[in-house]
Each structure stands twice: as structure tokens, then as C-alpha cells.
Amino acid sequence: MRWFYKLPLRFQSLFCKSRVERQLNDELRFHLERLIEEKVAKGMMPKEARYAALNDLGGVEQIKEECQDTRRVNFIENVIQDLRYGLRMLGKNPGFTAVAVLTLALGIGANAAIFSVLNAVVLRPLPYKDPERLAVLWTDNLRQNLHEERTSYPNFEDWKSQNDVFEDMAFCSSFTVNLTGGDEPERIVAARVTSNLFSMIGVSPIVGHTFTPEDEARGNRVIVLSYGLWQRRFGSSREVLGKDLEIDGARARRLV
């Protein structure tokens, strides 16, 4: 709790400097007079007692400097003076100031963008159930020196049938499609997934339901809309449930 008492004192030393100096002078004068009285009481002459008392204190101005150093006042004042000097110099060179500000702005913006990406991709956990238990499997093509390539569905079926490591495995392959049949066609990102993907990552739809094993077994062309597309394209309407949606000119039943 020391900072609780030191902080108001430092603020007073900065913004009420004259009052703090008067209080410090009064306190030092009090101690000096007490020392003089003690030495006079021991038989010293007043002039000699004053000299000896000043010698014992070590110098009034030196004590003031030590008090300011203890309160970090000198450090803060030096920083303020350096800032004022820097601002004056920048004001005398507007061209250099503009270049410096632009460089700092670009550097700060680039660092903020990099940190945002790093935070979203690396630092922040995935918004799924037990994200630390999720893993992504890729294939490597050593002949063509290709790494982290997508695998085929037959390969996935082999992995899943021979799996003795993972609790569950799901397939997901992203691609782009044309959403047609509306006022304006739109190019969107889609994905082919197995029916167990949503339950595996612990995600459930706001309305409707996800794919079922029966849909997967029958090869039904059903669709789950993302929340963003549902809002942007369909105005968050629940009436889209069960209606047909045209993808690349072919119709598929839509579920959300």
C-alpha cells in the first residue's frame, strides 16, 4: 500500500511545488533550530552551534535534492523538460515532423495488424469445445515438395477406419461456389463436411439442425448456412428453413 501514500505526495510535488517547498523549508528549519538548541545547551556558542548543526544536517539544499529524488520528482521534471524540448524542435522542422509522424503511424498500424492476426491465429484459443484437443491432419507430397495439402475423402475413410489415436475424426474440405437464384449472384466460401463435424467441435445451429448420418448415407444435398450469410443475404429470417437454394445452377435443400 506504499504507492497509495506516495502517489498523492508526488502529485503535490509536481503541481503544488511552491507549497511543498515551503513545507520542506519549514521542516528543515525546525530540525536545524532543534539541533542548534541542543548544541547551545551543551555549552557551544550560538554561531558555533549553528555551524555544527548545518554540518550535521549535511547541507539544506542537498537534503532538498535527496527528498525530490526520493519522490521521483526530478525524474518526472526531466522527462517533462525533454518532451517540451522535443516538441519545440519538431515545431521548428514541420517537414521532418510530418515524416516522423507518418513513419510512426505506419509502424504502429503495421504492428497492430500483425498482433491482431497473431492473436486471432496463435494466441486466442479456437471458439470450439475443448480447443486444445483439436488437431488438423494434412498430407505431404514429397515428390513435388508440397506440404500441408488437403487429402481426399477415400484417404480420410482409411484414416478413420484405422484410427486408434483420436476420439473422433471429421472431414472438411473448403472451396468457393456461386450463390445464384437471387437478385444478385454472389461468390462465397463453402465446405464439404461429414455429419459429425458439428458435434465433434461442440457447435449447434441457432435454428434448424445440422446434417444427419442419414443425409450423409443417402447423399442428400443439404446445406447449413453460416450466421454471417444468414444475416446478410436472408435478413435472419427463419422462413428460409426447408426452402431450396441454388448453388452453381443446381438446387439443394437448405437447412440452417
Q: What span, in angstroms and rounded, lies between the C-alpha atoms of 36 and 51?
A: 9
* Model pLDDT, residue 157: 92
In which element (H, E) is residue 232 found? helix 227-234
Note the pLDDT tens digit of each residue in 182-217: 778 889 999 989 999 999 998 888 888 888 888 888
**CA 214 to the chain's CA centroid:** 44
pTM > 0.85: yes or no = no
Write the DSSP string, 116-134: HHHIIIIISPPSSSSGGG-
3-state secondary structure of 248: coil
Write down the H helix ranges in 134-206: 153-161, 197-201
pLDDT digits 0-9 by tens, 101-118: 889 899 999 999 888 888
Mean pLDDT of 88-95: 80
Query: Which residue, chain included where needed, has cell 450466421?
Result: 227
Strand 250-255: give its sheet, edge to edge. 186-193, 172-180, 244-247, 250-255, 222-224
**Long-range CB contacts for residues 13-21, cutoff 8 Å, separation at least 24:** 13/68, 13/71, 13/73, 14/73, 14/76, 14/77, 21/64
Q: What is the rounded average pLDDT for all residues in the chain?
A: 78
Q: What is the pairing mode between strands 172-180 and 186-193? A: antiparallel
Domain ranges of the chain: 2-91, 93-123, 133-255
Residues 36-75: pLDDT tens digits? 777 778 778 877 777 777 776 665 556 555 555 555 555 6
Question: How far lies 250's CA from each of 63, 68, 218, 255, in Å?
Answer: 88, 80, 18, 16
Mean pLDDT calculated for residue range 21-44: 74
Judge whether 170 and 193 are in contact, CB under 8 Å.
yes
Which among 185, 192, 176 has a CA at the least distance from the CA of 245?
Answer: 185
Residue 57 grid cell: 544536517
| Sole residue written with cell 548543526 | 53
> Which of 126, 189, 190, 137 is closest to 160 using CA atoms?
137
Query: What per-residue confidence (pLDDT) applies to 65?
Result: 59
Q: In this structure, what C-alpha cell is assigned to residue 88?
A: 519545440
